[in-house]
Amino acid sequence: MTADQLPLNETGKILEILSSPLKINLMELGFLPGKYLTLQHKAPSGGPLAFQLEESLLALRQNEAALIRIEPIA
């Protein structure tokens, strides 16, 4: 699954960042395979998502979160 499909307050482990012009930007911010992210906030009506990634809270649009392939952690 991809990060945009993660339910609120759930955690996932990043498997890979899918190819796109934004791949580098995502990696720069610290979205790297092996790291864990938690979906903490959702802006209403299909708005951006805020993920806790280690020490930082990062906001992405849904189509950008869809570039992060993850594995949900129970």
Partner 1 sequence: MAESTATPVGSIPRIAIIGNPNVGKSTIFNYLTGLNQKIGNYPGVTVDKKIGFFQVKGEHFEILDLPGTYSLFPNSEDEIIAHRVLNNAELEQRPDYVLMVIDSTQLSRGLFLATQLIDLGINLAILLNMADVAADKKIEIRTFTLFKQLGVPILQTDARNQKGLEPLKELIQQRNFSKAAHFVDILEVIPAELLQRVRERFDLENNYQAYQMIRFGARDKAMPEASRLWLTQLLEESGFNLEEAQLEETKIRYKKITDLVTKALFKKTAPKPKSSLDKVVLHPFFGYLVFIGVLLLIFQTLFSLASYPMDWIDGFFADVSRLVLTTFPDGPLTRLLAEGVVPGIGGVVIFIPQIALLFGFLAILEDTGYMSRVVFLLDRWMRPFGLHGKSIVPLVSGVACAIPGVMAARNISNWKEKMITILVTPLMSCSARLPVYIILIGLSVPEEQVVGFINLQALALLSLYLLGVLGVLGTAFLLKVILKTEEKSFLLTELPSYRIPRWKDVGFTMVEKSKTFVFEAGKVILAISVVLWVLASYGPPTAMEEIRQQGVVQQQQASSPEQVAIIAAETNSLLLENSFIGIMGRAIEPAIQPLGYDWKIGIALITSFAAREVFISTMVTIYSIGGDVKDDLTIREKLASQVNASTGEKTFTPATSYSLLVFYVFAMQCMSTLAVVKRETKGWTWPIVQTLYMSALAYLMAFLTYQLFS
> Rule CB under 8 A: which residues touch partner 1?
9, 21-30, 32, 36, 38, 40-48, 50, 52, 55-61, 64
Q: Name the token pair of 69.
A: 């392939």
Measured from the CB atom, is 61 or 69 closer to partner 1?
A: 61
Those residues with Cβ within 8 angstroms of residue 38's Cβ, 6 or more apart along the chain or in another chain:
9, 10, 11, 12, 51, 52
7 versus 21: smaller Cβ distance to partner 1: 21
Instruction: Calculate the alpha carbon distances from 63 to 18, 55, 74 in Å.
Output: 12, 23, 24
* Nearest distance, CB of residue 1 and partner 1, angstroms: 20
Closer by beta carbon to partner 1, 55 or else 71: 55
State the minimum distance, in angstroms, from the CB of residue 31 to partner 1: 9
Contact 3, 37 (CB under 8 A): yes
